[in-house]
Amino acid sequence: MHHRDRALAIAARTAAAEPDALAVALVGSVATGTDHPHSDIDLIAAARTDPGTRVLHVEGRMVTLTRKTPADLAAALTRPREAGAAVPAWRTARLLADPDGILHDLQEHAHAWTWDEVERPDEWAAGELVGLAEEVHKVHGMLALGRARAAAANRLILALALAVPMAAANRLLYGSENDLWDALARTEGPAWARAWDTATGLAPAPHDTACRAAADLYRTAAARLARHLDPADRITVTTAADL
């Protein structure tokens, strides 16, 4: 049996084993046909009880089962942290069980959705930079103290954590985190791509150069978003960018 056919069969059996779920959908690479033999099988269940995520091992495959209330599933289409991934996920989802049409309506909403439905994406993205300012200071301080591992850890936090806010600022939709990095590199252009590759180690570079590359990413984000902050938070972000 082809690995995708097997994954679809596992998804259907796992969905059927959620008797208290209101509806179940398959999302992600198995739903879109872009999976490989080791892809996890992503299921989302609309349920009024036991929200959360379970990771299961079913017939040799990893299954990630997320349970959310119908209201929470719908709200994801309006949240700047979630919308970029949620919208394409629902557009390409396979509805495995949906007796009352809950997920059908959500899927129809996703197809008609626009960024106008998202609550202040630029302000949210700018606000994320306030929290990440600490990571910039840590990279700077750990480099000065010669603490290479701590500096490396914080530069990686910066490179990874900046991606979703910058995706929201660029109004990007991405099917999964696996698609996010390349989509953002294409949108932001070669300077961002080079800095991200250097900060994460994809492009070999000396340690201090990689740390400076992470700072370049933050500086780019700050230049784009600082104007969406109130004056006090703008000082925090611009001070970090100046480091």
Asked if 216 and 148 sit in the same domain, the reply is: yes
Q: Of the residues 83, 117, 151, which one is the last residue of a structural domain?
A: 117
- 60-91 residue pLDDT tens: 899 999 999 999 999 999 999 999 999 999 99
Q: What is the DSSP letter of 115?
A: G
Asked if 175 and 90 sit in the same domain, the reply is: no
Helix or strand or coil: residue 145? coil
Range of the domain at 139: 121-242
Asked if 137 and 238 sit in the same domain, the reply is: yes
Asked if 25 and 97 sit in the same domain, the reply is: yes
Q: Of the residues 99, 117, 135, which one is the last residue of a structural domain?
A: 117
Asked if 10 and 100 sit in the same domain, the reply is: yes
Calculate the alpha carbon distances from 85 to 107, 133, 172 in Å: 13, 25, 9
The number of beta carbons lying within 10 Å of the beta carbon of residue 52 is 9
Asked if 162 and 225 sit in the same domain, the reply is: yes
Asked if 72 and 137 sit in the same domain, the reply is: no
Calculate the alpha carbon distances from 176 to 29, 112, 147, 180, 211 in Å: 8, 20, 34, 6, 26
Asked if 95 and 169 sit in the same domain, the reply is: no
Calculate the alpha carbon distances from 210 to 37, 121, 133, 141, 203 in Å: 34, 29, 17, 15, 9
Instruction: Give the phi and the psi of residue 230 in degrees, each rounded to 5.
Output: -75, 165
Query: Structurally, how many domains does the chain consist of?
Result: 2
Asked if 100 and 125 sit in the same domain, the reply is: no
Asked if 10 and 89 sit in the same domain, the reply is: yes
Asked if 129 and 206 sit in the same domain, the reply is: yes
For the whole prediction, is pTM greater than 0.95? no
Asked if 147 and 100 sit in the same domain, the reply is: no
Residue 22's CATH number: 3.30.460.10
Q: Of the residues 100, 117, 134, which one is the last residue of a structural domain?
A: 117
- 141-165 residue pLDDT tens: 999 999 999 999 999 999 999 999 9
Which residues of the chain have a pLDDT value below 70? Answer: 1
CB 94 within 8 A of CB 25: yes
Rounded Cα distance, 222 and 91, in Å:
32
What pLDDT is recorded for position 35? 84
